[in-house]
Amino acid sequence: MQDSTARQNPSVAVIGAGMTGILMAIKLREAGITDITILEKADKLGGTWRENTYPGVACDVPAHMYTYSFRGNPEWSHRFARGAEIQQYFQQVADEQGVTGQVRFNEAVESCHYVDGKWQLGTSKGTQLEVDFVVSATGILHHPAYPDIEGLDSFKGDMWHTARWNHDVDLAGKRVGIIGTGSTACQAIGEIGHTAGHLTVFQRTPQWIIRVADKSYSEADKARLRGRQDKLAAISRRYAFVLRNTFSKAVTGSKLQHAYMSWTAKRNLRKSVRDPELRKKLTPDYPVGCKRLIINNTFYDAVQRDNVTVETTAIERICDAGVVTSDGVTHELDVLILATGFHPFNFMRPMDLRGRNGQTIDEAWSKKVQAYRSLCLPGFPNFFLMLGPNTPIGNYSVIAMSEVQASYMLKLIDLWRRGDLPVVEATEQAKQRFNAYLREGMKNTVWVGGCQSWYLDADGDPAMWPYSWQQWEKELQQPELDDFVRVAPEEAEPLRPAA
Ligand code: NA7
């Protein structure tokens, strides 16, 4: 074990400079840890908000709640902030806090191996780094999922994924197709329905949608909030109170809240879509909230425009001219947009991550993608996975979740600094206990309602937090020492062969 002086200022590598990476850099420094290296694969920070620039991109959590608790933002233009201003907010906070200057841009971590009590990192620039701790802040939804449809590459027009928007192509007057009707597609359709000559929406599964008024903030509104972090915090708390007691409860077992949420979504569809045939096409056959509930005010209006068609016949293949559906019709297109979501279980891949004894992350996760408290992986000492498996709580702010995780993680690092933990490594038993507890809670949730969604892992189990927000906060208040390895494996007495 290192001596206590060497442990006072551990070296930490933070992988990723998105919302959680920026947060970690700030929180580590507040805890007196100064030896921090932030490695970012791209040339800008911002993560998901840097990558998603499609028309209509916005956050579906109210902006005043989708901020760091220590830095409210008086400048939001709308209740639901637009992608570009969220990106600007993160950029601004990182600049103010001196984080931007600490980021090594265009430097992806390619390998990360635990060797002799330290993490050794190799980057795309060919540099090597040795640190005590690694924080993987690589985000959940950043590996675009391309659909496995025959002939996808044969399409002769322009084609792109929503997370790789091609701003060089003007959609005005063009025949555009979009595959998918998730949160991203609904936002994009609301915008491109106005510009495309004709838009065909290829819908495999309809979604439940609710409207929440998106008020815009005037200059006077903003002026009232400038310099008033107390007021901003109060607004954030009000939104958090509402979300915790409505959406979060509705998806995790409250029958009353779920009935209300269902009524709201069904009423929205009934009131918004006049044509009964179209309404039927847009009516899901699974419980409200089973897939992530879509908060959107533009989709239903867009699909009722004369230049927009909702196509529900299954896609058979893609050909050079467009999309061929199973009824034999070829939908000729100039542009095909893939709003087909992300691979949420890839986390820090394709990084070559190896823990103790050379165990790879693929080996550790060969049976199931699981963690202890979403954050720690047995066999991977002093390694933290921000927003890891079972973090999301339905439609809640991931920033709030990250802040709770960050504070829990710093308590663990403190235990290591004081020498109370030889390494920060959850035991396999603790991980199994934690995951059994999650499975138990999952039975009461709406996510086991029989739908397909990115919430589900390869076995069809929801990788969500199945209890309340309050429970999440309470359980991450203090680490339970017994759930962690107490003797560093390399220092444990070697087992004697039986006599
Ligand atoms: P989602 O919510 O995963 O939506 C993906 C959409 O793409 C969904 O409608 C899928 O239909 C559809 N899809 C995926 N593959 C295919 C194929 N092969 N054929 C037809 N349709 C397909 O991703 P989003 O980007 O919208 O949202 C992700 C999150 O980002 C969102 O929840 C917010 O948190 C931010 P399906 O429903 O599977 O039938």
pLDDT at 493: 47
Instruction: Please give the distance, rounded to the nearest whole angstrom, from the Cα atom of residue 340 to the centre of ligand 1.
Output: 4
Instruction: Please give the distance, rounded to the nearest whole angstrom, from the Cα atom of residue 155 to the centre of ligand 1.
Output: 21
433 found inside a domain: yes
Task: Find, among 334, 65, 57, 388, the residue nearest to 178 by Cα.
Answer: 334
What ligand 1 atom has the least distance to the C-alpha of 341? Answer: 23
Angle between helical axes of 19-30 and 398-417 (0-180°, round to 10): 40
What ligand 1 atom has the least distance to the C-alpha of 340? Answer: 7
Do 178 and 242 sit in the same domain of this protein?
Answer: yes
Do 264 and 409 sit in the same domain of this protein?
Answer: no
Do 187 and 332 sit in the same domain of this protein?
Answer: yes
Closest residue to atom 37 of ligand 1, CA basis: 205
Last residue of one domain, picked from the residues 338, 366, 401: 338
450 found inside a domain: yes
Give residue ranges with CB within 6 A of ligand 1.
Answer: 141, 147, 149, 179-185, 204-205, 292, 315, 339-341, 452, 454
Instruction: Please give the distance, rounded to the nearest whole angstrom, from the Cα atom of residue 61 to the centre of ligand 1.
Output: 19
Q: Is the pLDDT of residue 481 over 50?
A: yes
Closest residue to atom 23 of ligand 1, CA basis: 341
Do 181 and 327 sit in the same domain of this protein?
Answer: yes
- pTM higher than 0.85: yes
**Overall number of domains in the chain:** 2
What ligand 1 atom has the least distance to the C-alpha of 162? Answer: 25
**Around 172, how many Cα atoms within 13 Å sit in the side-chain half-sphere?**
2
88 found inside a domain: no
Do 351 and 228 sit in the same domain of this protein?
Answer: no
Instruction: Please give the distance, rounded to the nearest whole angstrom, from the Cα atom of residue 339 to the centre of ligand 1.
Output: 6
pLDDT at 6: 74
Do 433 and 414 sit in the same domain of this protein?
Answer: yes
The CATH number of the domain holding residue 204 is 3.50.50.60
16: left (phi over 0), alpha (psi -120 to 50) or beta: left
Instruction: Please give the distance, rounded to the nearest whole angstrom, from the Cα atom of residue 358 to the centre of ligand 1.
Output: 36
Do 187 and 327 sit in the same domain of this protein?
Answer: yes
Q: Is the pLDDT of residue 496 over 50?
A: no
pLDDT at 348: 83
Do 402 and 482 sit in the same domain of this protein?
Answer: yes
Instruction: Please give the distance, rounded to the nearest whole angstrom, from the Cα atom of residue 74 to the centre of ligand 1.
Output: 33
286 found inside a domain: yes
pLDDT tens-digit map of 57-116: 999 999 999 999 999 999 999 999 999 999 999 999 999 999 999 999 999 999 999 999
Do 262 and 367 sit in the same domain of this protein?
Answer: no
309 found inside a domain: yes
Instruction: Please give the distance, rounded to the nearest whole angstrom, from the Cα atom of residue 217 to the centre of ligand 1.
Output: 31
Last residue of one domain, picked from the residues 304, 338, 372: 338
- Report the pLDDT averaged over residues 287-296: 95
499 found inside a domain: no
Do 383 and 467 sit in the same domain of this protein?
Answer: yes
d(CA 379, CA 485): 10
Q: What is the largest CA-CA distance in the chain?
A: 85
Closest residue to atom 20 of ligand 1, CA basis: 204
Domain that holds residue 202: 152-338
Banded model confidence at residue 495, pLDDT cuts 50, 70, 90: very low
82 found inside a domain: no
Ligand 1: residue of 66, 184, 207 to mutate (most ligand atoms within 8 A of CB) is 184
| Residue 163 one-letter amino acid | A
Structure tokens at 103: 């980021």
Instruction: Please give the distance, rounded to the nearest whole angstrom, from the Cα atom of residue 452 to the centre of ligand 1.
Output: 10
The answer to whether the CB of 326 falls within 8 A of the CB of 318 is: no
Say which residues have a Cβ less than 8 Å from residue 271's Cβ, sequence separation at least 6.
Answer: none
Banded model confidence at residue 346, pLDDT cuts 50, 70, 90: confident
Percentage of the chain beyond pLDDT 90 is 90
Instruction: Please give the distance, rounded to the nearest whole angstrom, from the Cα atom of residue 180 to the centre of ligand 1.
Output: 5
pLDDT tens-digit map of 431-477: 999 999 999 999 999 999 889 998 999 899 999 999 998 899 999 99
Closest residue to atom 24 of ligand 1, CA basis: 341
- Report the pLDDT averaged over residues 39-46: 96
57 found inside a domain: no
What ligand 1 atom has the least distance to the C-alpha of 163? Answer: 25
Do 333 and 389 sit in the same domain of this protein?
Answer: no
pLDDT at 498: 39
Neighbours of 160 (CB within 10 A): 16
pLDDT tens-digit map of 141-170: 889 999 999 999 999 999 999 999 999 999
- Report the pLDDT averaged over residues 301-309: 98
Q: What is the mean pLDDT of the chain?
A: 94
Do 229 and 264 sit in the same domain of this protein?
Answer: yes
